[in-house]
Amino acid sequence: MASALKTYGTLIGFVLVVLFFWIEIPDTFMTAKNWLNISQQVSMLAVVAFTMTIVMVMGDFDLSVGSMASLAGIVAALAFRDGHGVWVGVALALGVGLLGGLLNGVLVAYVGILPFVATLGTLTVYSGLAFLVSGGKTIFGRDIPTAFSGFARSGIPLADMVSLPSLTIVAAVVLLVVWFTLEQTTFGRRLYAIGGNKEAARLAGIRVRRLRFLAFGLSGLGAATAGLMYASRVASANPTQGSGLMLDAIAAVFLGMTMSEEGEPHVAATLIGVLILGVLGNGLTQMSIDSYVREVLIGSIIVLAVASSSLGKTKG
């Protein structure tokens, strides 16, 4: 029973937060429309957090995801401005994301730089590139085709006035792909083995370097996907717009990790972490709570959730 509480403390906390808002905001919180709203609001963070989970499974970090998201948005917007179609812009941006991620992989896996340092370096490089190619300007207005900006406003109609947003569908697809990759393939199980003990994994014949290289590539690809979703949602691209994603994504994965007996990241748990952040943002706004109080609450919840989980584990 006690161990179940340790493992499910964060989940119970999430349920309590939802119950709290349901009671406080009885008319509008627990509605299909609001939950579809929340799903759309967290979709970009969710994609970054899901792919961040892949590298965190190995005990690594990718700090460059926020600037990669910005860079991807800028690359697509510049392609649109030069008259290329939506798919060309999207493909170019995803290509840049994959290459940037693989560069992180080279630095970490083959050159042997600590992920924290390597991705801190590329964070600055990608951010600088985003400023360089855009001239520091926001690209918006007629430069962004309506087919691209319309995507974030589209969805599958479910009922009167309610539809399943396209951004939510993208996030759900990424969730399924990452879940399948991590939980159902040898590739995924080997990543967990590396996270458990790199040396043992290597001695067991796992090609640690190549797997880390590929995992960082996936993280870069996820960051670029989120950057495109962001650019579509705001119908513009700005060289700093993705920068808030990185810390929130790491926070979401950490919140999820408190739900695992071994302290391992799992993508389904990351989803709960993402939802906690998203529901707090949505509910506290509806309750007219000051936006800075929200920051303090979110930070405190992360620290307390991780602390209570790790204290519980040490005692147990």
Binding-site ranges for another protein (CB under 8 A) = 5-6, 9, 12-13, 16-17, 19-20, 23-25, 28, 31, 33-34, 37, 40-41, 44, 135-136, 138, 140-141, 152-153, 230, 233-236, 238, 240-241, 243-244, 281-282, 284-293, 296-297, 300-301, 304-305, 308, 312
Nearer to another protein, 31 or 185 (CB): 31
Nearer to another protein, 191 or 235 (CB): 235
Q: In the complex, what is the shortest distance from the CB of residue 180 to another protein, in angstroms, rounded to a whole number? A: 28
Q: In the complex, what is the shortest distance from the CB of residue 229 to another protein, in angstroms, rounded to a whole number? A: 9
Q: Residue 212: CB partners within 8 Å, gap ≥ 6?
A: 55, 58, 60, 105, 108, 109, 194
Nearer to another protein, 21 or 213 (CB): 21
Nearer to another protein, 173 or 303 (CB): 303
Nearer to another protein, 58 or 144 (CB): 144
Q: In the complex, what is the shortest distance from the CB of residue 163 to another protein, in angstroms, rounded to a whole number? A: 12
Nearer to another protein, 167 or 182 (CB): 167
Q: In the complex, what is the shortest distance from the CB of residue 166 to another protein, in angstroms, rounded to a whole number? A: 12
The closest of 172, 243, 187, 199 to 57, measured between CA atoms, is 187
| DSSP string for 203-259 | HTT--HHHHHHHHHHHHHHHHHHHHHHHHHHHTEE-TTTTTTHHHHHHHHHHHHHTT
Nearer to another protein, 156 or 296 (CB): 296
Q: Residue 134: CB partners within 8 Å, gap ≥ 6?
A: 74, 77, 78, 237, 238, 239
Residue with tokens 């493992």: 7
Q: In the complex, what is the shortest distance from the CB of residue 251 to another protein, in angstroms, rounded to a whole number? A: 13
Taking CA atoms, 290 is separated from 19, 296, 297, in Å, by 21, 10, 11
The H or E element spanning position 113 is: none
Q: Residue 311: CB partners within 8 Å, gap ≥ 6?
A: none
Q: State the Cα–Cα distance between residues 269 and 173, nearest whole angstrom.
A: 16
Q: In the complex, what is the shortest distance from the CB of residue 212 to another protein, in angstroms, rounded to a whole number? A: 31
164 torsion bin: left (phi>0), alpha (psi -120 to 50), beta (else)? beta
Taking CA atoms, 72 is separated from 86, 249, 280, in Å, by 13, 17, 28
Q: In the complex, what is the shortest distance from the CB of residue 28 to another protein, in angstroms, rounded to a whole number? A: 5
